[in-house]
Structure 1
Amino acid sequence: MKIAIDAMGGDHAPEVVIQGIAQARDERPELEFLVYGDETKIRPLLADDTRMTIIDTKEKINSDDEPVRAIRSKKQASMVLAAQAVKNGEADAMISLGSTGALLAAGLFIVGRIRGIDRPGLMPTLPTTDGAGFVMLDVGANAENRASQLVQYAVMGNFYAHDLRGLAKPKVGLLNNGTEANKGDALHQETYQLLSELDDIDFIGNVESDSLLKHAADVVVTDGFTGNAALKAIEGSAKTILGLLKHAIMDNGLKAKLGGALLRNGIKEIATTFDVSSYGGAVLLGLKAPVVKAHGGADAKAVYYTVRQVEKMLEAQTVQKVVAYFDAKKQA
């Protein structure tokens, strides 16, 4: 399995990128990497370049670049060259910690979408209180969606949850402002009806945002605008609560500190529950090959798990299953 790596994307590149992929390489002999980036910065970080080919590039896409313009104008950028490697069949998948918007553009315009998929969706794995987690898409690849596109997300998310989450029959829910079938605007009511008629998934109906972390569903389907708002609310709430808890312990005298010491294991368990680094990155589903966006602030551990995530997608041939499904639907 050959994975193209944009080594220059992210807040701590290329150090954490190289550390993460090196760990995966050492543990998984079937993995090989095409590493795109500034060789003068990458080479000193590599004690061993076995199954790692460095492709030197001095150009990179910055977080403040306009995504589509950057993809089209910076032809020698590490992200663009990594995407080209996937398109040309030189690599089986791609990972980047760089600009989400630019990676979406590279995935769409270079790697290309699967026939039958109108718009690829961005799908992260999020935590639940029982530790199982759930996937949600779209969380921002598209500002607007049609009902038929949300149905496509349900199908793709179902394949992913089956292959990578090990679920025989994933529960698929539609994010809405109520659980009743008649809730929501015209988009959500139409989507509900279409999902109810689909025999290929286990559609459990509407789910509300306050039940997401309680594992209301294994796959949560939503439009990109709503999904991004829900994602940011979850991330922000988790960070805020953990921050308040820390300050409550550290800023309220000796008794609070003693109480915090007694609760240390419980607090660590809560922090672990909301640490999603072991889930890998957000997958851009609907493309012809796995393209995965790891968080810009990811550490080496998160990069390592993102590599393992891509490896599992390639082993399970998840993308090929999606292609076969929509080809069959088109011919039916």
Structure 2
Amino acid sequence: MKVAVDAMGGDKAPHEIVKGSILAAQQFQDSEILLVGDGKAIQRELESYRTIPKNITTHHASQVVGMEDPATYSIRQKTNSSITQTVGLVAKGEAVAAVSAGNTGAVVAAATLHLRTLKGVRRPGIAAPFPTRSGVCLVIDVGANIACKPIHLFQYGVMSTIFSKCIFGVKDPRVGLLNIGEEDAKGNDLAKETFALLSHSQLNFVGNIEGREIFDGKADIIVCEGFVGNVMLKFAEGLATGILSTIKAEAMKSFWSKLGLFLCKPAIAPLKAKTDFAEYGGAPLLGVNGVCIICHGRSDSKAILNAIRVALQLSKNKVNEHIVSELEKADASASIVM
């Protein structure tokens, strides 16, 4: 299996992207990693290693989409950008998956334009893993679609259920709807109509989930519109970083607090790992006709390695085929409610 990796996307590209790809090539020796981007820049990075794995290859792309570039405009104007070429390789069947830490909007636009959506999928959604007390909760959508309809959120529940079963090994994922209260009648029209669809579906729907309950582990999947999900994702990242930084700053104020922090290290280390996005690699763009993993802009080599791992898992487990099959059955029951 060949995974195309955008070598020029992200704050730490190409150094960390190439490093992570080499680690992946060493770990997944039965697969091939294709680095896409400026050929000379990639080659300089590769030359800094004594040995380059045989399953690492390159594909030249002369342009780069910046983080500040307008998404759709960039994809249409920069046809030879590393993002467009990475996704294009999957569209042509020359790779089974695309991985990028570049401009999220541009990756979504490129995937939607070149890969199209799976049969039956109305809108693709980005599914991001959130740490909870009992494991991991998948939140969808965190930025792909900011103008959602109830059917979109319903399909997010179906698609993320398949992902959770195949990748996280959850037998019967609990699906929750992000809302302002637990009661059935809470929320705006979008929330109420989505609640009705989920309630009458075959999904393991556990009702409304409030923001403060996300990390309690009450649901394995939480569906929401992309605008809310993206704000929530970035708030959670900032809060986790802020808490850990505050603990460290307070601990440095005296000898005894430093000692206390040192003694607490065995308990703090797992917490830090759970809140580190690099542990999860990236977020899959579910619903497109191909595997596409969107990584954090600050991704390091560890994040890229894990993103490639997830990409290979999605392909090997035929997640997209399962999504199409389940949506055919799910949409039939949803049409009755609508």
Q: What TM-score do the two structures reach when normalised by structure 2?
A: 0.94
Say which of 69, 77, 80 aligns to 1:73.
77
Within-5 A mapping of 1:151-162: 151-162=154-165
Judge which range, 232-241 or 267-276, deviates more.
Answer: 267-276
Q: Which runs of 5+ in 2 are unaligned?
A: 334-338
User: 1:135 deviation in Å?
Assistant: 0.5
Encode CA deviations 1:156-186: one digit per residue, 9 max, x unaligned.
Answer: 0000000000011001111111111111111
Q: Could you tell me how far apart the structure 1 residues matched to 2:182 and 2:330 are?
A: 29
Identity across the alignment (%): 33
User: 1:331 deviation in Å?
Assistant: 8.1
| 1:40 aligned onto 2:43 | no
Judge which range, 164-173 or 275-284, deviates more.
Answer: 275-284
Within-5 A mapping of 1:68-147: 68-130=72-134, 132-147=135-150
Q: Could you tell me how far apart the structure 2 residues matched to 1:28 and 1:179 are?
A: 44
Is contact 1:118-1:149 (8 Å) kept?
A: yes
- The one-letter code of the counterpart of 1:166 is G
Q: Which residue of 2 aligns with 1:206?
A: 208
User: 1:329 deviation in Å?
Assistant: 5.8
Q: Which residue of 2 aligns with 1:243?
A: 245
- The one-letter code of the counterpart of 1:121 is G
Q: Which residue of 2 aligns with 1:269?
A: 270
- The one-letter code of the counterpart of 1:52 is I
Q: Which runs of 5+ in 1 are unaligned?
A: none
Q: Could you tell me how far apart the structure 1 residues matched to 2:185 and 2:277 are?
A: 34
Q: Could you tell me how far apart the structure 1 residues matched to 2:275 and 2:331 are?
A: 40
SS at match of 2:290: coil
User: 1:124 deviation in Å?
Assistant: 0.9
| 1:304 aligned onto 2:308 | no
Judge which range, 303-312 or 13-22, deviates more.
Answer: 13-22
User: 1:30 deviation in Å?
Assistant: 2.0
| 1:54 aligned onto 2:61 | no
Q: Could you tell me how far apart the structure 2 residues matched to 1:215 and 1:153 are?
A: 19
SS at match of 1:34: strand
Q: Which residue of 2 aligns with 1:317?
A: 318
| 1:2 aligned onto 2:6 | no
How many positions carry a matched residue from both structures?
Answer: 329
Q: What TM-score do the two structures reach when normalised by structure 1?
A: 0.95
SS at match of 2:36: strand
Q: Which residue of 1 aligns with 2:281?
A: 280
SS at match of 1:179: coil
- The one-letter code of the counterpart of 1:315 is K
SS at match of 1:152: helix
- The one-letter code of the counterpart of 2:152 is Q
SS at match of 1:167: coil
Question: What is the RMSD computed on CA atoms of the aligned residues?
Answer: 1.5
Is contact 1:127-1:276 (8 Å) kept?
A: no
Q: Which residue of 2 aligns with 1:176?
A: 179
Q: Which residue of 2 aligns with 1:150?
A: 153
